A and B are shown apart, each in its own frame.
Chain A
């Protein structure tokens, strides 16, 4: 008999099941539809239902595979799509920057409050989620209209003589996006600031930092993971955002989300819409994977 206990290689079925549930979910509801989109993007448009040719054909003896790369060629060379991609990236970049400028001080302010008021303030940040996003965007329409609340207020205060044209401009898109996505930027930054070790600030002060330089040399660099998470959480969905530019923006701001929608519903060109989507995904996923791998390398 041995007194040394050897841990038997017991398979942790409970743990595996726990992981299996979300992965099954992702597989069925994300990866499978995505594969479908990828397949459609290589197909050719046709009349009928579904409105695309199957990739494979069976003529009794030969199985032939017909891949159509023209959609991609068209997406990558056509100015309309290129412009839509650039507009989307620009709108996403600018609104991410605006949100960062608003969210960081906000998160910092909340994190420096007493723990009891912190939870109330965090609650207030997520309160807007309690009503539908669509309703909130519609509300912005009535606020920003030429005869809307904002113009009425500004006219009444005598700050302007003529109503401002905000609705159906790029400004309205920025207002809508920043308003809608701000909590996604605030929360990760807040959580990284709130979990920061306060003695580190004291250590920085002890080593000769003023409050301001202690912030820039310690607090800010330590909150960067939160900032990165916040930026990713808003930038990625904003690039593909459809509802806000559609409802608040004008015809002159063509974002890629709307381009996909038009291609899909107006032109009924599913393969083209799918190709635009795949290119968009590649545009977003490649840099993210790159940063992720860089971050995990710097951590070890």
Chain B
């Protein structure tokens, strides 16, 4: 089935440097899709190709089945919200928002109506006569959003849209973006390097590295079932041990891990070959620490209190470290630095990773 936006074998290189390598992606109508990766992974280049600012070296971009690869930016039904907001400093907020509509030669009353509509939605009504220089960061961000949305694009592209906001405003704005996107039923594609942001807003995430897409999935899919060590480590924190000889007992694998200094358990899947090098990954919040019982033995080396959670770093006998977390339920921690602990987790919490 053809996707709403389909990116086919898309590549972009600057001279000998290839920024985007042969990417295939399908994005559906009404999705809030994230391109997530560290800086220089090609996510912005990919977004700029979708916007029409960069011409791909090879491959195609289709929108609703139509090839838009060679359609220039000003003729694409996409609009972009820039990282720097790129508001026109010589125009008032109202004229900034009207800019694209005037370009489409809509009549005055229609422009007025649409500006009022979007201004109300984004609480900009009182600011329409101000110049961008007279606005706060959050207000500018809303004007940039309004200016792009007022054109009613088929796809809204957001390039690190919240990068310039402080943390509290950021969280608030993320929720606001999700609300807007649902209300308008538009397709949003966002570029971000902040995994927390991607998890918060997206219906699906594409994790990128060095010009390639490593994995695509819903936030819970990519977090719970990462397919590579890179993805597991990039999304949240995780403990990774090299796996050794494995023995199957029913649905449970008992894995010898020299690094962990004992046996770890994992649910059996036939997805990966256990004779090739592989790794076992377990998220810190799944690790249970007890002062007695089965598990990998270690000493509590660090204890961090964050309010929501307590973070423990356990030094294993092998010298490796293991991180564990406990949600703060109000009770004092019964573990202190220097305590001998045994770490264990249910077999389902282990992920086996080929690379």
**A residues at B contact (CB < 8 Å):** 197, 199-200, 202-210, 213, 217-218, 221-222
Residues facing A in B79-107 (CB within 8 A) are: 79-80, 82, 84, 86-90, 99-100, 103-104
B74 at the interface (CB under 8 A from A): yes
**A222 / chain B contacts, CB cutoff of 8 Å:** 89-90
B186 at the interface (CB under 8 A from A): no
Residue contact B88 to A202, C-beta cutoff 8 Å = no
In whole angstroms, what is the CA distance A218 to B96 when docked?
11
15 sampled A-B residue pairs with Cβ under 8 A: A197-B84, A199-B86, A202-B73, A203-B82, A203-B88, A204-B99, A205-B73, A206-B79, A206-B80, A207-B99, A207-B100, A208-B104, A209-B74, A217-B99, A222-B90
**B52 / chain A contacts, CB cutoff of 8 Å:** 206
From B53, B79, B89, B103, give the contact of A209 (CB < 8 A).
Answer: B103
Given contacts A208-B151, A221-B90, contact A203 B80 (CB under 8 A): yes
**Chain B 113-129 near chain A by CB (<8 Å), digits 1 or 0:** 00000000000000000
B51 at the interface (CB under 8 A from A): yes
Residue contact B74 to A206, C-beta cutoff 8 Å = yes
In whole angstroms, what is the CA distance A205 to B52 when docked?
9
**A205 / chain B contacts, CB cutoff of 8 Å:** 53, 72-74
Given contacts A207-B79, A207-B147, contact A200 B88 (CB under 8 A): yes
In the assembled complex, the CB of B148 is this many whole angstroms from the nearest CB of chain A, namely: 8
In whole angstroms, what is the CA distance A108 to B53 when docked?
21
Given contacts A207-B147, A208-B103, contact A202 B90 (CB under 8 A): no
Residue contact A202 to B86, C-beta cutoff 8 Å = yes
In the assembled complex, the CB of A204 is this many whole angstroms from the nearest CB of chain B, namely: 7
In whole angstroms, what is the CA distance A210 to B53 when docked?
13
Residue contact B74 to A208, C-beta cutoff 8 Å = yes
In whole angstroms, what is the CA distance A208 to B147 when docked?
12
In whole angstroms, what is the CA distance A84 to B184 when docked?
67
In the assembled complex, the CB of A192 is this many whole angstroms from the nearest CB of chain B, namely: 12
Q: Is the interface of A mostly helix, strand, loop or mixed?
A: helix
Residue contact A206 to B73, C-beta cutoff 8 Å = yes
**B84 / chain A contacts, CB cutoff of 8 Å:** 197, 199
In the assembled complex, the CB of B186 is this many whole angstroms from the nearest CB of chain A, namely: 16
Given contacts A200-B88, A218-B88, A222-B90, contact A210 B74 (CB under 8 A): yes
In whole angstroms, what is the CA distance A218 to B99 when docked?
10
In the assembled complex, the CB of A208 is this many whole angstroms from the nearest CB of chain B, namely: 4
**B residues at A contact (CB < 8 Å):** 51-53, 72-75, 78-80, 82, 84, 86-90, 99-100, 103-104, 147-148, 151
Pick the most buried of A200, A202, A208, A218: most chain B CB atoms within 10 A of its CB: A208
Would you list the 6 A-B pairs with minimal beta carbon distance, nearest first? A207-B100, A208-B103, A203-B86, A199-B86, A205-B73, A206-B80
In the assembled complex, the CB of B240 is this many whole angstroms from the nearest CB of chain A, namely: 40
In whole angstroms, what is the CA distance A205 to B100 when docked?
9
In the assembled complex, the CB of B155 is this many whole angstroms from the nearest CB of chain A, namely: 12
Residue contact B82 to A207, C-beta cutoff 8 Å = no
Pick the most buried of B51, B80, B148: most chain A CB atoms within 10 A of its CB: B80
Pick the most buried of A200, A203, A217: most chain B CB atoms within 10 A of its CB: A203
In whole angstroms, what is the CA distance A210 to B73 when docked?
9
Complex: chain A residue closest to B153, CB-CB: A206
**B74 / chain A contacts, CB cutoff of 8 Å:** 205-210
Residue contact B151 to A207, C-beta cutoff 8 Å = yes
**A213 / chain B contacts, CB cutoff of 8 Å:** 103
**B148 / chain A contacts, CB cutoff of 8 Å:** 206-207
In the assembled complex, the CB of A18 is this many whole angstroms from the nearest CB of chain B, namely: 28
**A209 / chain B contacts, CB cutoff of 8 Å:** 74, 103
In whole angstroms, what is the CA distance A139 to B15 when docked?
48
In the assembled complex, the CB of B46 is this many whole angstroms from the nearest CB of chain A, namely: 16
In whole angstroms, what is the CA distance A217 to B91 when docked?
10
Complex: chain A residue closest to B73, CB-CB: A205
Complex: chain A residue closest to B72, CB-CB: A205
Residue contact A202 to B99, C-beta cutoff 8 Å = no
In whole angstroms, what is the CA distance A213 to B102 when docked?
11
Residue contact B51 to A206, C-beta cutoff 8 Å = yes
**B78 / chain A contacts, CB cutoff of 8 Å:** 206
**A197 / chain B contacts, CB cutoff of 8 Å:** 84, 86
In whole angstroms, what is the CA distance A205 to B78 when docked?
11
In whole angstroms, what is the CA distance A209 to B99 when docked?
9
**B79 / chain A contacts, CB cutoff of 8 Å:** 206-207
**B73 / chain A contacts, CB cutoff of 8 Å:** 202, 205-206
Complex: chain A residue closest to B98, CB-CB: A207
Complex: chain B residue closest to A217, CB-CB: B99
Extra contacts, 13 of them, besides A203-B88, A206-B79 (Cβ < 8 A), are: A197-B84, A197-B86, A200-B88, A202-B73, A202-B82, A204-B88, A206-B74, A207-B74, A207-B100, A207-B147, A208-B100, A209-B103, A222-B89
**B103 / chain A contacts, CB cutoff of 8 Å:** 207-209, 213, 217
In the assembled complex, the CB of A232 is this many whole angstroms from the nearest CB of chain B, namely: 19
**A218 / chain B contacts, CB cutoff of 8 Å:** 88
In whole angstroms, what is the CA distance A217 to B99 when docked?
9
Complex: chain B residue closest to A201, CB-CB: B86
Complex: chain B residue closest to A213, CB-CB: B103
**A204 / chain B contacts, CB cutoff of 8 Å:** 88, 99
In the assembled complex, the CB of A236 is this many whole angstroms from the nearest CB of chain B, namely: 25
From B53, B89, B100, give the contact of A202 (CB < 8 A).
Answer: B53
**B100 / chain A contacts, CB cutoff of 8 Å:** 207-208
**A210 / chain B contacts, CB cutoff of 8 Å:** 74
Residue contact A200 to B86, C-beta cutoff 8 Å = yes
In the assembled complex, the CB of A227 is this many whole angstroms from the nearest CB of chain B, namely: 13
In whole angstroms, what is the CA distance A213 to B73 when docked?
13
Complex: chain B residue closest to A210, CB-CB: B74
**A202 / chain B contacts, CB cutoff of 8 Å:** 53, 73, 80, 82, 86
**A221 / chain B contacts, CB cutoff of 8 Å:** 90
In whole angstroms, what is the CA distance A200 to B73 when docked?
14
Complex: chain A residue closest to B86, CB-CB: A203
**B80 / chain A contacts, CB cutoff of 8 Å:** 202-203, 206
